Structure 1
Amino acid sequence: MTGGTAAGTAERTALVELTDVAKQYGNVRALEGVSLEVHAGGVTCVLGDNGAGKSTLIKIIAGLHGHDAGTLRIEGEETRLTSPRDALDRGIATVYQDLAVVPLMPVWRNFFLGSEPRRGAGPFRRLDTGLMRRTTREALLRLGIDLRDVDQPIGTLSGGERQCVAIARAVHFGAKVLVLDEPTAALGVKQSGVVLKYVAAARDEGLGVVLITHNPHHAYLVGDRFVLLRRGTMVGNYTRDGITLDELTQQMAGGSDLDALVHELRRS
């Protein structure tokens, strides 16, 4: 099922495009016939309950697992990602739900973890802590994130604030595509709103965002495209002008299956 065409995106080459992608683990078909497009300055939401295939889809886009069938194109070029580093080198950054941070290290150190700039030469070579502090503060402010102190341990931040730091980090290090794995799943209403605000900020910076979620209300607040998965298959692929929030919620809830359940419960 396909909705209308998103204004201004049809003529542009997608940053990432999957067409009829499938993945099988032994005898288990994890994904089959899944297609999606990710455009610069747009948010593609992938929705589904547990077991729908969202995690497998993330792993394919992030380069953790290769696809078995279908095509994956990055900026129009058909390719096969071989590793997460390969994906990063192609501009695809993935922020997982269980953020890979060192809780006792300060925010600025986590921001540069694995990419620390250094100064000096030979035995006098050392971390450029001043540059990292300044850059972290500036990168956060660029997205409107005003932390009290970048020297505080990142473990003292709220879940929403840690997600926002991860988004700012991806923007700073030049990601073209940002994949977010259920960023609001464990957050309350206020913190979820904060994260969605910075998802929109990343979109406005020109990134293509893939938002994995099971919450249609969160998806509809920021999404331009919506891909619905159920048991590894795609049951819906819509642009924003092709579906309403009520229709999206109904599809997520099971559509005709939900109607049948309501009828059955009423009879009971």
Structure 2
Amino acid sequence: MTTVPTLELRGVDKAFGPVQALSSVNLVAKAGEVTALVGDNGAGKSTLVKCIGGIHRIDAGELLFDGTAHSVAEPRDAARLGVEIVHQDLALCDNLDVVGNMFLGREHLTRLHTLDENSMETLARQALDSLSVTTIRSARQLVASLSGGQRQTVAIAKAVLWQSKIVILDEPTAALGVAQTAQVLDLVRRLAEQGVAVILVSHNMNDVLRVADSIAVLFLGRTAAQVRRAEVTQTQVVELITTGRSGALGLSPTQAGATL
């Protein structure tokens, strides 16, 4: 029995004037898996993420969520479909604590229309505990006092708090040290284990090979291939990234660009 992917892109095109940023892009992201999205600079990764998130509207193709095609015209459409994007800059407010950041724009109010601090703190702590987070001692810590790895933890836990079905992580380990990188990657795996479809955008092959179940490669705005991590070597993935060729994987020209 084939499981319906949480997210599937079919033949997605996006142009900016005369520049064709994406051409017939296919992608599959399944619940409970980490799908790595890789490619050289200019391959179209950022544009693709913005199309999924509703920042850019696609020109052609389909975005299917749980097997049903949806129009994603703005970020609110994506949010309603369960998409959460953790951008590289994290979009966290240094002057707020962990709870304030996790509920920013979606605060709980009491019957007197004051902030329900107790319920928000309880739910924030539950989200952190569900990911077995031990690096943040208090949900009342100011984000300004947190390390890079701890900030990533807050951003990922926020996605759990709002029961997102698809979480896109944009270079989550950039500028992190070895220990913090290991902590964040463990968190990525735990997020997938909760049944979330995780899309990891990364240039770091070590990170990709460590946590990915599936690897989708973009080359000059097209899908070079999507392959199972267990079936490829680092050399083969790098070849796809740098040349767009997939001969080493035994894929025919018609299969290259198909999702496996």
Q: TM-score, normalised by structure 2?
A: 0.89
1:249 is displaced (CA, Å) by 3.5
Inter-partner Cα distance in structure 1 for 2:241 and 2:14? 22
Q: Structure 1 residue aligned with 2:149, among 140, 154, 160?
A: 160
State how 1:81-230 maps to structure 2 within 5 Å. 81-121=72-112, 125-146=113-134, 147-230=136-219
Aligned position for 2:69: 78
- Cα deviation 1:32-86 (Å, max 9, x = unaligned): 1211101110111100122111100000111111111222111111122011111
Aligned position for 1:5: none
The 8 Å contact of residues 123 and 161 in structure 2, kept in 1 or not, is answered as: no
Inter-partner Cα distance in structure 2 for 1:128 and 1:26? 48
1:135 is displaced (CA, Å) by 1.8
Inter-partner Cα distance in structure 2 for 1:91 and 1:234? 24
- Cα deviation 1:212-252 (Å, max 9, x = unaligned): 11112111111111111122122222112331233223433
- Cα deviation 1:155-208 (Å, max 9, x = unaligned): 211111111111111111110111111111222222111111111011000000
Gapped regions of structure 2 (runs ≥ 5)? 246-260
- Structure 1 segments, 4+ long, off by >4 Å, are 253-256
The 8 Å contact of residues 22 and 67 in structure 1, kept in 2 or not, is answered as: yes
The 8 Å contact of residues 10 and 24 in structure 2, kept in 1 or not, is answered as: yes
Q: In terms of Rg, which structure is larger?
A: 1
Gapped regions of structure 1 (runs ≥ 5)? 1-9, 257-268
Inter-partner Cα distance in structure 2 for 1:179 and 1:20? 20
Is 2:6 the counterpart of 1:18?
A: no
* Equivalent residue letter for 2:36: C
Pairs aligned (count): 244
Give the secondary-structure state (helix, strand or coil) at the position aligned to 1:138.
helix
Inter-partner Cα distance in structure 2 for 1:17 and 1:210? 12
* Equivalent residue letter for 2:43: A
Give the secondary-structure state (helix, strand or coil) at the position aligned to 1:137.
helix
Aligned position for 2:250: none
Aligned position for 1:242: 231
Inter-partner Cα distance in structure 1 for 2:21 and 2:177? 30
1:91 is displaced (CA, Å) by 0.8
1:254 is displaced (CA, Å) by 4.8
* Equivalent residue letter for 1:75: D
Q: TM-score, normalised by structure 1?
A: 0.86
Aligned-residue sequence identity (percent) comes to 40
The 8 Å contact of residues 39 and 217 in structure 2, kept in 1 or not, is answered as: yes
RMSD: 1.6
